Amino acid sequence: MQPVKSEPEISAKRRVLLVDDSRLQRRILKLMLTKWGYEVVEAASAAEGLQICAVQPIDIVISDWMMPNMTGIDFCEHFRALGRDSYGYFILLTSKSEAREIARGLDVGADDFLTKPVDSGELRARLRAGERILQMEAALSQKTIQVASALSELQTVYDSIDRDLQQARKIQESLVPDSVLHFGKSTVSMLLKPCGHVGGDLVGAFSPGPNRIGFYNIDVSGHGVTSAMMTARLSGYLSGRHVEQNIALEQRFDKFYALRSPENVANILNERLLSDQGVEEYFTMIYGTADLTNGIVRLVQAGHPPMFLQRADGSVEVLGDGGMPIGLLPEPEFDCIELRLNPGDRVFLCSDGFTESVDREGVMLDDDGMAAMIEAAHDVRGKDCLDGLFWSLTERRPNAPLEDDVSAIVLEYNGS
């Protein structure tokens, strides 16, 4: 004869609460449960069962449906309302078989049902199903704890990065300390709006001496920290505070600094960028010089959107045909545009954050749209004009975040 195989014990000892007003019924069930390796706690009523659940961790509840004072279904509803750290599996014992009554039990939170008298094989199968549910719930809880811990660590890292980016933003804002610069009667106004904490656009102006101005609008490829680091470097190359380090200036006779030609400046920047190993970024730029004694302005366009010339009567001309970005090819050819300003005229330079922005229908502003915006702002001067243009841009897509860095600079010429 083959030996009879005994029931395998459960891997982790579970605590089962038996709730039944019949002592005999509890005794029969307790014998089976103890044999299968469960720790059994008894209660003669639902009220007593609730008191036990309030002070002891219960894994599985087996409760009779029909009991005096409080039924099993009421007990189940109260059990589910308890503040528990883990899930409790609830089995109702009933002589009821109507679908409507079973639905009531499911509504209040019962997991399973057994019809009395209880068959040991069926009870064992239901307990195994409950074990699987509890094991999955425990595994899920552990994963939840691990995820919460990981999220906490990520939040700490994010907070640290956010603080660094906030400081980086302050540093980048210091690259353009003044949004308005006055050169005699003429004025240079600047706008810089990164789409993130930091951006890859840069505007600036400087003067090596009376009636001479250098000014620029730069857009580094990409966004974020890498582009911002490049703008910081370019700001050093075109510094108005440290003229001896400004590559757009050359010292003459050890007495004064003169403006290099815009083409020469573009070539020097191109050579420096290409000589840096591992640097993959490039940038577009318009760099210009202005002689305020006669209104002569010379500009070089390096892959940047065109410049806009607005005459004193409000009419707007679009100037420039693109050119080669800086940092892509060695020895590119840069063409220079020369124009003469009369008092009341002004020159706008802007990044593609303006011209390539789209409205809520997906229509791009483009060069003509930008020219129309400038023409509409004819009577507004200086920084107020740039702020108005930016407001008009954002109104095309209200409540939508910027998709690209936005920058602009305007030189308003009012005579020598």
DSSP symbols for 158-188: HHHHHHHHHHHHHHHHHTS--SEEEETTEEE
Indicate the residue among 143, 162, 184 that finishes a domain: 143
Indicate the residue among 119, 143, 167 that finishes a domain: 143
Q: Does residue 62 sit in the same domain as residue 115?
A: yes
Q: Does residue 84 sit in the same domain as residue 225?
A: no
Q: Does residue 180 sit in the same domain as residue 306?
A: yes
- At 213, which CATH number? 3.60.40.10
Q: Does residue 312 sit in the same domain as residue 263?
A: yes
Tell me the two tokens of residue 59.
């894994």
Q: Does residue 194 sit in the same domain as residue 296?
A: yes
Indicate the residue among 85, 120, 143 that finishes a domain: 143
How do strand 201-209 and strand 212-220 relate by DSSP bridges?
antiparallel
Asked if residue 161 belongs to a domain, the reply is no
Domain encompassing residue 308:
175-412
Q: Does residue 245 sit in the same domain as residue 112?
A: no
Each of the 416 residues of the chain gets a pLDDT tens digit; together they read: 444 444 444 445 899 999 999 999 999 999 999 999 999 999 999 999 999 998 999 999 999 998 999 999 999 999 999 988 889 999 999 876 666 777 888 888 899 998 888 889 999 999 999 999 999 988 888 888 889 888 888 888 878 777 776 776 677 667 777 889 999 999 999 999 988 877 889 999 999 989 999 999 999 987 777 788 888 889 889 987 888 889 999 988 877 889 999 999 999 999 998 887 766 789 999 999 999 999 999 999 999 999 999 999 999 999 998 889 999 899 898 989 999 999 999 999 999 999 999 998 889 999 999 999 999 999 999 999 999 999 999 998 888 888 889 999 999 999 87
Asked if residue 170 belongs to a domain, the reply is no
Q: Does residue 127 sit in the same domain as residue 53?
A: yes
Asked if residue 259 belongs to a domain, the reply is yes
Q: Does residue 259 sit in the same domain as residue 342?
A: yes
Query: What whole-number distance in Å separates Cα of residue 82 and Cα of residue 342?
Result: 82
Query: What whole-number distance in Å separates Cα of residue 57 and Cα of residue 60?
Result: 10
Contacts 24+ apart (CB under 8 A), 252-261: 256/208, 256/209, 257/208, 257/209, 258/208, 258/212, 259/208, 259/212, 259/214, 259/289, 261/289, 261/298, 261/336
Asked if residue 162 belongs to a domain, the reply is no
Asked if residue 6 belongs to a domain, the reply is no
Write the CB contacts of 163 (distance below 8 Å, at least 6 apart in sequence).
none
Place of tokens 């020469």: 264
- At 58, which CATH number? 3.40.50.2300
Distances (CA, A) of 362 to 186, 356, 359, 365, 366: 38, 10, 5, 9, 12
Distances (CA, A) of 332 to 53, 160, 231, 264, 327: 82, 42, 21, 11, 9
Tell me the two tokens of residue 73.
């279904």
Query: What whole-number distance in Å separates Cα of residue 107 and Cα of residue 110?
Result: 7
Kind and range of the H or E run holding 230: helix 224-237
What is the count of structural domains for the chain? 2
Q: Does residue 186 sit in the same domain as residue 123?
A: no
Q: Does residue 212 sit in the same domain as residue 273?
A: yes
Q: Does residue 328 sit in the same domain as residue 260?
A: yes
How far out from the chain centre does Cα 331 lie? 39
Asked if residue 2 belongs to a domain, the reply is no
Q: Does residue 190 sit in the same domain as residue 117?
A: no
The reported pTM is: 0.66
Nearest to 58 by CA among 17, 4, 27, 118: 17
